[in-house]
Structure 1
Amino acid sequence: MVLSAAIFITLIGLIMYLHFVKIDQESLLVIGSLGIQMTSSYASGKENTTFIEMSQVKDVVINEAIYMQKVIYYLCILLQDPQEPNGVSEVVPLFQSSKPRLDCLVEVYRSCQEILEQRKTKTSPEL
């Protein structure tokens, strides 16, 4: 009886977790003149949106980490330090829940770099 109740409570907890906490979709919108918007959509319908102004963005990089005897790759935004122009104040990881493969990250990285490069060429003075 106690075992059946424990299994039932565990199943109910798992169903609630999958319905209310699990992230269903993550997206990234990069607009060179405005900034970067990151959106996470939960299975329950709730959305979490974060916006970073382009003036704060120093670069977008693919970082690697060792986790449980394997190498994982993730995309990060490097935020520019206001006091130190060449420094980085914060590293913001992207796609934390979906964990896309490296080839997918490379495609997103290349697109972001194209937009950042266009922005740099527009803002740099011509000689």
Structure 2
Amino acid sequence: MPARLTVRRPSPTTVCFTVSNAPARCTIPSKLAFCLQVLLRALVFACVLLVDAAKLRHSIFTRNGSVVPWEDVWSSAIGSFACQVSDRYSWWVIAVLSPLVIYGVFRKGYTEESLLVIRGLGIQTSTSSATYWSTATTRFIPTTQIQDIVIHEAFKGFEVRFYLAVIVEEEPDVVVVFPSLLPKRMILEEVWRGTRRCLYESKSGPIHG
């Protein structure tokens, strides 16, 4: 899905540019589909845990306890099905497949990158993590270390791609903004102009190619 740009201005001296390839959830069907996806993920996660518990039922999850009545669970329809699945495969198959399925459940399936610009302080880049359980990768660059903000072009395979870069003082490499998504030049130009306007309180000059 192509990347979309969202611009938020919490204050006159702060602007946040967010680029994301997540599906838009503006309509009722899209919101219902998202809720259904969340329920499906939760169901799959619960089934994986139940199958894992069923594999260990003879050694750990055997007796009725004060919290979970395991004997009643295993005698139920869904518990019996979990036992059948766990008995069908060896322990190493379940040990390998369970983490893979759980990773798929918690995998976002989209990328979100942002550029937060604060006049007088600097900029902060952020790239979302691949899963819901890990945090985003961020970096803050003070205004005093920013030499320039430019739009460069580079080859990606046989395709020419544009990218927004921050030239940082005393660093040999530039800091690429939106490195995973690499949005189109039209988006980069809007971010470039807005960033320079917010940082330096002046009209942007010609774009560096």
Q: TM-score range by the shorter chain?
A: 0.5 to 0.7
Whichever structure has more helix as a proportion of its residues is 2
Within-5 A mapping of 1:1-127: 16=103, 19-20=106-107, 24-42=111-129, 43-45=131-133, 46-81=135-170, 89-118=172-201
Is the Cα contact below 8 Å between 2:120 and 2:199 reproduced in 1? no
Q: CA deviation at 1:68?
A: 1.1
Q: Which residue of 1 aligns with 2:86?
A: none
- 2:128 maps to amino acid: S
1:29 deviates by: 0.5
- Give 1:70 deviation, angstroms: 1.2
Aligned-partner SS, 1:112: helix
Quick check: 1:23–1:97 contact (8 Å CA) kept in 2? no
**Partner of 1:71: helix, strand, or coil?**
strand
> How many angstroms apart in 2 are the aligned matches of 1:78 and 1:98?
20
Structure 2: runs of 5 or more not aligned: 1-95, 203-209
Q: Secondary structure at the match of 1:29?
A: strand
- Unmatched tracts of structure 1, length 5 or more: 1-8, 82-87, 120-127
Give, in angstroms, the shift of residue 97 of structure 1.
Answer: 0.9
The structure with the greater share of residues assigned to strand is 1
Deviation at 1:90, TM superposition (A): 3.5
User: Secondary structure in 2 aligned to 1:72?
Assistant: strand
| Contact preservation (8 Å) 1:80, 1:90 | no
Percent identity, aligned pairs only, is 33
| Secondary structure class of the residue paired with 1:49 | strand
Contact persistence 1:23–1:40 (CA under 8 A): no
Alpha-carbon distance in 2 for matches of 1:22, 1:75:
24
1:66 Cα deviation from its structure 2 partner = 1.3
Q: Decide whether aligned partners of structure 1 residues 67 and 116 sit closer, same or farther in structure 2, where only a CA change above 3 A counts.
A: same
Aligned length: 104
- In 1: Cα distance, 2:113 partner to 2:101 partner: 21
Residue type at the aligned position of 1:110: R
